C-alpha cells in the first residue's frame, strides 16, 4: 500500500530532491527536513510540501516531522566527526510511528552480515577516503557504520538501501539489486541518482525488503 504521508529527511540534497518528486508523483503528502540554509533548494515544491528546517540529527525537529507519517525516507550522511548519521538514525528509530516503513540510504561499503565481497579498489577507496576525511574532520565513515548497526539491530520495519557509484541523467528504470556486493548482477557499479531515489520510494511499498539491505545498481 502506498503510504499517505511521507517524511523525507535530507530532502534538499540531490537524492532528497528526487525522492520528493517521486513521492509527490505517487500522490503522497510530503514533509521534508533540511538544514535552514538549504530551504530555498526546495522552492519549486514549496506550495506542495511541508518543510521543517533544521539539522537532520536534531531530535526535536525529527520528532515533529515524522509525526503521523507512514513512511520515512532518510538520507544518512556522516558529515563531521560528532556522530551526525548516528544521531539522525537514532532519532528516526525513536520517534517514527510504530507502523511506519523506514528506508535509509548509504553506500555499498556498509555490510549487514559480513558476506559482501568487495573489490580491492573499493576497499582501498574506503580506507584512504575514510582516513583522510576523519583526519580533516570532514566526515566519519565509522559514524555511518554505527548508524546502520543501530538500524540493523532494531525491530522497526527498516530497509537500508546501499547505493553503488552514482551519476546524474534520465531515469533508466528501477535498479537491480542483490543481498550481497560481489554478486555478478552488480558488476556495473553505477546507478543514476534519480533511480536510487526511485528505489528508495518504491521500497516503502515493498514488504519483501523489510529488514534487508539491498545493494543496488542501474538496470541497463
Ligand atoms: N555520492 C555517491 O557517489 C554515493 C554513492 C553511494 C551511496 N551514496 C549515498 O547516497 C546518499 C546521498 O548522497 P549524495 O552524495 O548523493 O549526496 P546528496 O544527495 O546531495 O546528500 C547530501 C546531504 O547531506 C547534507 N549536507 C551536506 N553538507 C552537510 C553538512 N556540512 N552538514 C550536514 N549536512 C550536510 C545535504 O543537505 P543540504 O541540502 O542542506 O546541503 C544533503 O541532505 C547518502 O546516503 C550516501 O551515503 C552516495
Summarize pLDDT for 17-50 with one digit per residue, the tens: 999 999 999 999 999 999 999 999 999 999 999 9
Residues 6+ apart with CB under 8 A from 14: 168, 193
Q: How many CB atoms lie within 10 A of CB 115?
A: 10
Q: From ligand 1's centre to the CA of 68, what distance in Å?
A: 25
Q: How many CB atoms lie within 10 A of CB 4?
A: 12
- Output the residue whose Cα is nearest ligand 1's atom 30: 79
Index of the ligand 1 atom closest to the CA of residue 144 = 47
CATH code for the domain of 207: 3.40.50.720
How many angstroms separate the CA atoms of 18 and 185, rounded? Answer: 25
Q: Is the pLDDT of residue 144 over 80?
A: yes
Cell of 56: 537532520
200: domain range? 5-217
Residues 12/49, Cβ–Cβ less than 8 Å: no
pTM: 0.97
CA 124 and chain centroid, separation:
23
Q: From ligand 1's centre to the CA of 78, what distance in Å?
A: 9
Amino acid at each position: 500500500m502506498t503510504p499517505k504521508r511521507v517524511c523525507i529527511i535530507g530532502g534538499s540534497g540531490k537524492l532528497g530532491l528526487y525522492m520528493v518528486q517521486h513521492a509527490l508523483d505517487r500522490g503522497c503528502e510530503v514533509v521534508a527536513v533540511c538544514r535552514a540554509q538549504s530551504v530555498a533548494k526546495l522552492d519549486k515544491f514549496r506550495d506542495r510540501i511541508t518543510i521543517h528546517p533544521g539539522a537532520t540529527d536534531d531530535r526535536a525537529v525529527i520528532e515533529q516531522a515524522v509525526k503521523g507519517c507512514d513512511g520515512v525516507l532518510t538520507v544518512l550522511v556522516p558529515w563531521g566527526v560528532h556522530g551526525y548519521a548516528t544521531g539522525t538514525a537514532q532519532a528516526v528509530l525513536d520517534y517514527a510511528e510504530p507502523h511506519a516503513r523506514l528506508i535509509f540510504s548509504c553506500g555499498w561499503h556498509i555490510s549487514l552480515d559480513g558476506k559482501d565481497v568487495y573489490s580491492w579498489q573499493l576497499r582501498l577507496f574506503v580506507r584512504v577516503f575514510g582516513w583522510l576525511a576523519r583526519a580533516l574532520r570532514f566526515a566519519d565513515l565509522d559514524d555511518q557504520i554505527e548508524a546502520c548497526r543501530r538500524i540493523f539491530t532494531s525491530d522497526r520495519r527498516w530497509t537500508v538501501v546501499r547505493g553503488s557509484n552514482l551519476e546524474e541523467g534520465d531515469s533508466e528504470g528501477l535498479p537491480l539489486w542483490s543481498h550481497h556486493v560481489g554478486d555478478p548482477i552488480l558488476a556495473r557499479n553505477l546507478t543514476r541518482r534519480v533511480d536510487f531515489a526511485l528505489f528508495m520510494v518504491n521500497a516503502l511499498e515493498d514488504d519483501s525488503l523489510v529488514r534487508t539491505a539491498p545493494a543496488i545498481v542501474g538496470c541497463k
